[in-house]
Amino acid sequence: MRQRGTLQPLSASTPTTVRRALFVRDLIVPCAIGVYAHEKGKRQNVRINVDLNIASPDAPHDDRIAQVVSYADVVAGIRTLVDQGHIHLVETLAERIADLCLEDRRVDWVRVRVEKLDILAEAESVGVEIERQWVE
């Protein structure tokens, strides 16, 4: 039994990680997005938030980035997506980001929020949030 104030090693049968999640918060990227004429031919800032659940949180990673889902890879992938050309709907961008994240089989669930920041004067942002999950 563990006593308060003392560190004791965990037994081999005690889980050390119950859940591992990766997140990207408030990533702001310029994006060619929108269906209206005044949105065509220019970029506007969008804020992106991503939450990922890792399917095997206890998989050994040996302190090596190649062994984990990397937030740097997620951000780089998002930047590549928004640089591929004009997107009409925030829903489309959110789905593409979810697809990107779920390409890594270590990810079993993703939540993506995409917000347009400079659309309505009376609102800080407008957008969409989606969740996707592998079902086997």
Which one from 87, 116, 127, 132 is the annotated catalytic residue?
116
40 assigned to active site: no
Residue range(s) defining the domain that contains residue 58: 21-133
Q: Which two tokens stand for residue 83?
A: 């640089």
pLDDT, one tens digit per residue, over 42-78 is 999 999 999 999 987 667 778 888 888 999 999 999 9
Tally the domains of the chain: 1
Residue 14 falls within a domain, yes or no? Answer: no
Q: Is 88 left (phi over 0), alpha (psi -120 to 50) or beta?
A: alpha
pLDDT at 25 over 70: yes
What is the pTM for the complete model shown?
0.84
CATH of the domain at 101: 3.30.1130.10
Stretch 101-130: mean pLDDT: 95
Residue 114 falls within a domain, yes or no? Answer: yes
Stretch 20-41: mean pLDDT: 95
Q: Which two tokens stand for residue 60?
A: 């050994």
- Residue 15 CA to residue 30 CA, distance in Å, equals 42
Buried b (16+ CB within 10 A) or exposed e, 95-130: bbbbebbbebebbbbbbbbbbbeeeeeeeeeebbee
Residue 13 falls within a domain, yes or no? Answer: no
Q: What is the pLDDT of residue 65?
A: 87
Residue 16 falls within a domain, yes or no? Answer: no
